[in-house]
Amino acid sequence: MAAGKPDITQLGKQVGIPESPEEAELERVPNPHADTDYVARFTAPEFTSLCPVTDQPDFAHLVIDYVPGKWLLESKSLKLYLAAFRNHGAFHEDCTVAIGKRISGLIKPKYLRIGGYWYPRGGIPIDVFWQTGMLPKDVWLPEQGVQPYRGRG
């Protein structure tokens, strides 16, 4: 790593979408405010994966909140990682929890939660929530802001 520059391989370069989530390279950068507790949020309102049985597309609105420790999640690598699910077959629960676990394993946040708000297929919406760690005292964690599915009502 060059002095003052994070050791990242994708930001600032033309990089294609990985073939699968397993092949995607998530990257992290040092947290310049590691002495301060705060929440960082990523929102992916157009997440797509495939049903592992029918190969039909599934769509979700993902919200990822975390309180970083020493590391931040690099956003371009996250975008490419999430895009790799477009041709990946997995159930809603698997996608949501696997994303949370992969991010947590890389950046080791003090707290992380992911909300997967899946659009209905077959008439049933499935919302999936996963978290790890404890929210530090006095940290403001806003609601995720995604309304439960209500149909046309």
- Compute the Cα dihedral for 73, 77, 82, 87 and give only its sign: negative
How far apart are the C-alpha atoms of 11 and 37, rounded to whole Å? 26
Output the CATH code of domain 28-133: 3.30.1130.10
Q: Name the residue ranges covered by the structural domains of the chain.
A: 28-133
Q: 33 or 5: whose pLDDT is higher? A: 33
Q: Where in the sequence numbering do the catalytic residues fall?
A: 51, 58
**Nearest partner of 98 among 153, 84, 110, judged by Cα:** 84
pTM: 0.91
3-state helix vs strand vs coil in the chain, percent to 5: 20, 30, 50
Residue-level pLDDT at 124: 86
pLDDT in tens, 46-73: 999 999 999 999 999 999 999 999 999 9
